[in-house]
Chains A and B, each alone.
Chain A
Amino acid sequence: MKFKVDEISSVITEEIKQYRSKVDVAEVGQVLEVGDGIARIYGLGNAMAGERLEFSNGQFGQVFNLEQDSVGAVIMGDYLGIKEGDEVRRTGELLSVPCGDAMVGRVVDPLGRPLDGKGVIETPHRRPLEFKAPGIAERQPVTEPLQTGLKAVDSMIPIGRGQRELIIGDRKTGKTAIAIDTIINQQGGDVICIYVAIGQKESTVASVVGKLQEAGAMDYTIVISASAANPAPLQFIAPYSGAAMAEYFMYTRGGATLCVYDDLSKQAHAYRQLCLLLRRPPGREAYPGDVFYLHSRLLERSVKMRDEYAVVPKDTPKDSLDRTVAFKHPKGFEAPKEHRPDDVQGLYHRPDGKKHAETWLDSLPDKDKYRVHRFPDSGGSMTALPIIETLEGEVSAYIPTNVISITDGQIYLEPDLFFAGVRPAVNVGISVSRVGGNAQRKAMKKIAGSLRLDLASFRELEAFSQLGTDLDTATQHQLDRGQRMVELLKQPQYTPYNVNDQILSIYAGAQGFLDDLPVNQVLEFEAALLKHFGDEFPEIGEELDDTGAMSDDLADKIKKVITDFKSHYSPGEKS
């Protein structure tokens, strides 16, 4: 090994040449006491709430409490190197994280510093950690599906882009697995995924990253890790940092994003620790009074932004973001309802607005000179999959009830189902999606409409039938169907299903084509059937993609294919 002394010394010379001595002016305070990741600081009379501070050992801090004679701050990093009497400097800025394309594919800590050994992340973009969620006017209803690739979820608990769907369950029930499968299923799509690991073992995070890499999912994923070994302040800010990175894609280019917060119970623990150390009064379960706001302000940042349209001169570039080029309706808000603009800039919002813009354009005498333009930075979305770990299935604890009430539905996972081999172990009875139904594909909605209720009633019947009483044929039939549907909804990890495959296999089950098969052959039959569809009838998949709906003709065709296939099918056959 040989050092290139010349080059090194030339760098040093260059640096010294360029150096211009300036007086370093700063507002400073002194550490009065420090411990357990928090510091009390004397001075800093002008410090702002939430401001970033710099300690003399290079660590960052954040102002939490502004008190009469002192400032309470949390330390984002190693607090053991900070002593009483050390100097603390104000920076005059709030905490922010780097964001942009350079972050994608990287594993970073909550302050955006790389953890994967792939070198510095060079990006000119930064966003504040805390950002106010958009208001009502900037939003649009959730209508676009975010496919998880899981039959049990996409059919019965559909998730839309911009929705917040809680994944809740005891430890080791497959909560992370659902989130990871969802990320893997976004392959080839336009969704940027952000996986935030909070308070987890480093080994777990490493294996998740490994799985994502193996599946090729790191190409569109950012992993933020605040492991159990990181100080509580970092664990507390991790989800906000994930949201900030997602917001970059959502606000600046109208991108679709998916944030997984794994898990928010650990974040609440970290926040509780900070607040107790800072002597904020404890409330229920010793959580501070604002623990609801902790989660509500985070999840409120998940949003489906409105689409924005305008009538613009024909030569406007397709990627124009300039709202001032809009050709305003001369009558403004006085215009007839069918071409009335939605704001003072003359823009049209949401799909309805697009129709209004088109109607107005058609009515213009010189309509050839204009076109309807969709601003490409509008219409972004951030879908959130927060995860909450329950203890012994206790969903009425403080944090679970809070997050359940904030989110637009929950996927409830049960250990009993998990150990009975039903994986994903989704309890369909109490899992709901409050907005996703509108986002579901028509075909899926049609065939899976009654699935959830049927399965729930099957569960009840099953419990009843275990008493050993004689059952009538109808009940027996319902039980048989239920058992086969439960079998059909099982799915191994890391194997997301294409939505058309899901539709076909659920259709086969719901129409009773599996009723006469032994339960243990259902998945084998399904695999063979889907392969048959893919190989011999690709046009069915294409039609489902094109129309999104299941017409009667298509249904008849599918029925016929399944019947034919079944007549030739023998177990053990691979195609």
Chain B
Amino acid sequence: MAGATDKELALAKVYSKSMLDLAESQGQADELLDELHELADMIDKNAALGAFLSSPTVDVTARAQTLEKAFRGKASDLLVDSLQVLNRKERLGLLRAVCDTYRLAHEESRNIVDVHITTAVPLSDTLRGKIREAAAKFAGMGVELVERVDESVIGGLTMRIGDEKLDTTVAMQLRQISEAMQQRASQEVHGGKAYVEFG
């Protein structure tokens, strides 16, 4: 959830909750999620679009017209209407946060929890299946895997469910060994043991 301050998140929650309520009543909750994701990805890739949406120097009415032209017919009416409301309130800068909070609220309503997995190499399908199973058992509800590849973990994986984080990575183990060695060495050095000979 990094990238947004707690105030932005609180604001985004208000919008995403309303959007979810509407989408659920129209049976479009999943579609809206996909569309929001797509839009958020587009903004991430295209900085100019992000700037256009969030910049306060762009006139609100001009932006409304552009949004209408660009999206009406191509995306669901619910999404376009939501964008228009966000635009009118000058909150389009929150789009990324709205997308995140919408996803969480959507998962919560389906009793699903996000599980963040970080590994050194991309997961294979069999491994993914196993992890999903283990994570579901641990969480006691349905899970949605959010995968991330980070070479610096070297091996093993970290799994974060809510605030709980399980870490089995090689990087963590190396860090633990190095801390233990530093502590031991500092105690020994202060206890009078010399690892270096002078002269």
Contacts and interface: CB of A to CB of B under 8 A. Distances in A.
A434 B165 CA distance: 56
A330 B2 CA distance: 68
Given A4-B195, A21-B173, A15 B10 contact: no
Contacts of B190: 119-120, 122
A11 interface: yes
Nearest to A121: B190
Nearest to B180: A15
B6 A26 contact: no
Contacts of B180: 15, 19
Interface residues of B, number: 35
A2 B196 CA distance: 6
Interface of A is mostly: mixed
Interface residues of A, number: 39
A42 B187 contact: no
Contacts of A15: 177, 180-181, 184
A16 B176 CA distance: 10
Given A24-B168, A42-B9, A85 B197 contact: no
Nearest to B172: A24
B173 A40 contact: no
B166 interface: yes
B196 A45 contact: no
A46 B167 CA distance: 19
A266 B48 CA distance: 49
A27 B9 contact: no
Contact of A3 (B2, B5, B172, B195): B195
Interface string B168-192: 1000110011001100111110100
Contacts of B17: none
Contact of B2 (A11, A28, A69, A85): A85
B162 interface: yes
Contacts of A85: 2-3
A45 to B, nearest CB: 5
A344 interface: no
A120 B187 contact: yes
A463 B109 CA distance: 83
B6 A29 contact: no
B59 interface: no
Given A33-B5, A69-B6, A84-B3, A12 B181 contact: yes
Contact of A70 (B6, B168, B186): B6
B125 interface: no
A67 B10 CA distance: 11
A93 B151 CA distance: 33
Contact of B165 (A3, A8, A28, A45): A28
A31 to B, nearest CB: 7
Interface string B1-30: 111111001100000000000000000000
A122 to B, nearest CB: 7
A143 B190 CA distance: 44
Contacts of A32: 1-2, 4-6
A505 interface: no
Interface of B: 1-6, 9-10, 160, 162-168, 172-173, 176-177, 180-181, 184-188, 190, 193-199
22 contacts: A1-B196, A3-B195, A4-B194, A11-B181, A11-B184, A11-B185, A15-B180, A23-B168, A26-B165, A26-B167, A27-B164, A29-B163, A30-B2, A32-B4, A32-B5, A42-B9, A67-B6, A69-B6, A69-B10, A70-B6, A87-B165, A120-B186
Given A33-B5, A85-B2, A119-B190, 6 more contacts: A24-B167, A27-B164, A42-B9, A67-B6, A85-B3, A122-B187
